[in-house]
Chains A and B, each alone.
Chain A
Amino acid sequence: MEIAPSASEAVSAPVRRPGKGRLGAAPLLGLLVVALVVVTLASLAIGAVPISPRTILSAMLGSHPLTETQRLILFHLRLPRVLASGLVGSALALAGLLFQGLFRNPIADPYVIGSSGGATFGACIGIFFFSQWSIFGFSGTALFAFIGSAATMALVYSLARSAGRTSVVTLLLAGFAISTIFTNSSYFFELLDKTGTGNRILISFLHGVIGIPTWNELGVGAALLALAMVTALPLMRTLNTLALGDEYAQQLGVRVEAARVSIVLIGSLLTAVAVSLGGMISFAGLIVPHVARLLLGPDHVRLLPVTTLAGAIFLMLADTLARTIFAPTEIPVGILVAFVGGPFFLYLLRKMKRSYTV
């Protein structure tokens, strides 16, 4: 069919070259893997007692034994913490990607929409009432963090949904209100604590401190992250379709309600992993998917591995800075990330201001 160029096209934006401003997923993944190795080595090397990356590599290859002090610092202090920060970063970034896709909004992240607040409240219940619990290796803290996160998400989502649409303003306000209620409710647990141990954990949770986890905790966290990734993978194409809107997606054969529930559950699981290991860390789940989307475009299938790796790198770097920038004093990584994430969130809000104009 011969069709002349349309008059309306004359005033539209200039033609964008294919892929302009977007990278291929494979080269970016390659770069990120290299960056992950470099950042891991740097994070292990930097600290009060510096250990050179060459020494670490030699020790790992078995060609150069470490001193007892170096061995203790490396394997009992730094490595678990560096791995934990990587896990927390990946979990938050992936949760952010899922929530942003589900809510069709780039400002949704576990902290902003209250999922982290719910997880923290749940974790407090675990710490103060069920600290001895363990089911299949999952501590009471992790289990209740998951329940808190999933329940909060269900509540925020049901408040924000109206006539088949998700109102961004209601979502933000409901998320803010519920997050504030849960975060402040967590302080009540202080009154219950006689020994002070619970309080120290609580304060770490609320400030976003990545502690030194046990290898068992790391193993459970890694297993849950892997489970979340595997279950999220088939939903990534669905998230692309959901970007057209719920009704459009339904019309294209997507079981919208089932997809929504699955995404909320996986996002909540990831938030629970992050909160169990690092407490409330704001905005990491906002920045990382957003930057990945700028580099790679909005296809969620391609974004999944990139966001997961980039999240790990981002938080490893942030935590290394948090423990060294004012050495010997450590600042909670949650506070450091908030200094970066807060302005970024405001920038996004400004960019999207038309959506909020009444």
Chain B
Amino acid sequence: MSCLLRLSGVHFDYQGQSVLRQTTFDLEEGSCSALIGTNGVGKTTLLRIAAGVLRPASGSVLLRGQPMETISVKEIARTIALVPQQLELPFEFTVEQVVEQGRTPYIGMLRGPGRSDRLAVDRALDLADVSRLRHRIFNELSGGERQRVKIALGLAQEPRLLLLDEPTQNLDIGRQVELIDLLHFLRDEGITILSSMHDLHLVDKNFSTVLLLSPGQPLASGSPEQMLKPSVLERAFQCPPDRHPLLIERAELYRREAR
């Protein structure tokens, strides 16, 4: 597999505080990776840097071996889509109008959306299961519906790399499972996925790689088995091993496997 995105020695400061330091990782084409870490550790910042929205203070970001700053913003937008946590709209755009914005990198300034753009929007609406909401006003949707519309907007970009920032927030457990199914489907379609995840229960069986950000530590990566060990999580999340059901459950699991 070839490397789609490479972050090397990335450092980022926010208001004088070091958020990311010496962050290095590769995203292989077609991989499905989860980004985990404590609140405020820099997961969103890392995703924004990977999307080319933020520039690191030092270090390099390479997209298919080419420095990100040498690639046009439109070309980046055709390759990478970032689905953020929040989307607030000032006016009453319909779901379809919102998802159409995903075609921005393909549409010239003087040309309206063409047939291929409409097809891509229809497909994105279908994949995210929001076709029947297409004429609804985005601001009137529930949190879960909005989440799926944001994913449809990202899919309308027809990206090779989909970055998702806490995509399961606001979703009930049934919709979480649907989202995970969708991620599996997209991975099978050859789309590379990097998603920050709050709910570690969903990480174990569904991602091939786990990237772990801990305060003051360089980014660690490995398989879910390696990265979700109780001892690793205990250190990374500074949580006593007997106080959280997840850690107790995982400790039990590892004990059984060891036997």
Asked if B8 is an interface residue, CB under 8 A from chain A, the answer is: no
Q: Which B residues are CB-close (under 8 A) to A250? A: 53, 73
Interface residues of B in 134-184 (CB under 8 A from A): 135-137, 140-145, 157, 170-172, 174-175, 178, 181-182
Interface residues of A in 1-18 (CB under 8 A from B): 1, 3-4, 6-9, 11-13, 15-18
**Which of A17, A104, A253, A298 has the most chain B CB atoms closer than 10 A to its own CB?**
A253
The number of residues on chain A lying at the interface, defined by a beta carbon within 8 Å of a beta carbon of chain B, is 42
Asked if A81 is an interface residue, CB under 8 A from chain B, the answer is: no
Q: Which A residues are CB-close (under 8 A) to B72? A: 253
Q: Could you tell me if A255 and B89 are in contact, using CB atoms closer than 8 angstroms?
A: no
Q: Which A residues are CB-close (under 8 A) to B78? A: 253
B124 shortest CB reach to chain A, Å: 13
Pick out which of these stretches binds chain A: B93-101, B194-202, B239-247. B93-101
B116 shortest CB reach to chain A, Å: 16
The number of residue pairs between A and B whose CB atoms lie closer than 8 Å in the complex comes to 119
Bound state CA distance, A235 and B109, in angstroms? Answer: 7
A253 in contact with B91 given A6-B175, A247-B53 (CB within 8 Å)? no
B47 shortest CB reach to chain A, Å: 10
Bound state CA distance, A278 and B167, in angstroms? Answer: 52
A241 in contact with B104 given A8-B144, A13-B140 (CB within 8 Å)? yes
Partner of A251, one of B51, B91, B112, B181: B51
Q: Could you tell me if B172 and A297 are in contact, using CB atoms closer than 8 angstroms?
A: no
Task: Please classify the interface of chain A as helix (H, G, I), strand (E, B), loop, or mixed, using the class held by over half of its residues.
Answer: loop
Asked if B77 is an interface residue, CB under 8 A from chain A, the answer is: yes
Q: Which A residues are CB-close (under 8 A) to B101? A: 240-241, 244, 252
Bound state CA distance, A270 and B184, in angstroms? Answer: 51
Q: Which B residues are CB-close (under 8 A) to A293? A: 91-92
Q: Could you tell me if B77 and A243 are in contact, using CB atoms closer than 8 angstroms?
A: no
Pick out which of these stretches binds chain A: B30-38, B80-88, B214-222, B229-237. B80-88
Bound state CA distance, A243 and B98, in angstroms? Answer: 9
Q: Which B residues are CB-close (under 8 A) to A9? A: 142, 144-145
Q: Could you tell me if B88 and A252 are in contact, using CB atoms closer than 8 angstroms?
A: no
Q: Closest residue of chain B to A163, judged by CB?
A: B15
Bound state CA distance, A351 and B112, in angstroms? Answer: 33
Q: Which A residues are CB-close (under 8 A) to B107? A: 237
Q: Could you tell me if A19 and B97 are in contact, using CB atoms closer than 8 angstroms?
A: no
Asked if A330 is an interface residue, CB under 8 A from chain B, the answer is: no
Asked if B74 is an interface residue, CB under 8 A from chain A, the answer is: yes
A338 shortest CB reach to chain B, Å: 25
Asked if A335 is an interface residue, CB under 8 A from chain B, the answer is: no
Asked if B190 is an interface residue, CB under 8 A from chain A, the answer is: no
Q: Could you tell me if B136 and A3 are in contact, using CB atoms closer than 8 angstroms?
A: no
A253 in contact with B135 given A244-B87, A244-B101, A297-B92 (CB within 8 Å)? no
What are 9 A-B contacts defined by CB distance under 8 Å? A3-B178, A8-B142, A8-B171, A11-B142, A233-B110, A244-B87, A247-B53, A251-B77, A298-B92
Across chains A and B, which 8 residue pairs bring their CB atoms closest together, nearest first?
Answer: A298-B91, A253-B77, A253-B105, A234-B109, A8-B144, A18-B135, A253-B74, A104-B90
In the complex, given contacts A18-B135, A240-B93, what are 8 additional A-B residue pairs having Cβ atoms less than 8 angstroms apart? A6-B175, A15-B135, A240-B101, A253-B76, A253-B77, A253-B78, A253-B105, A298-B92
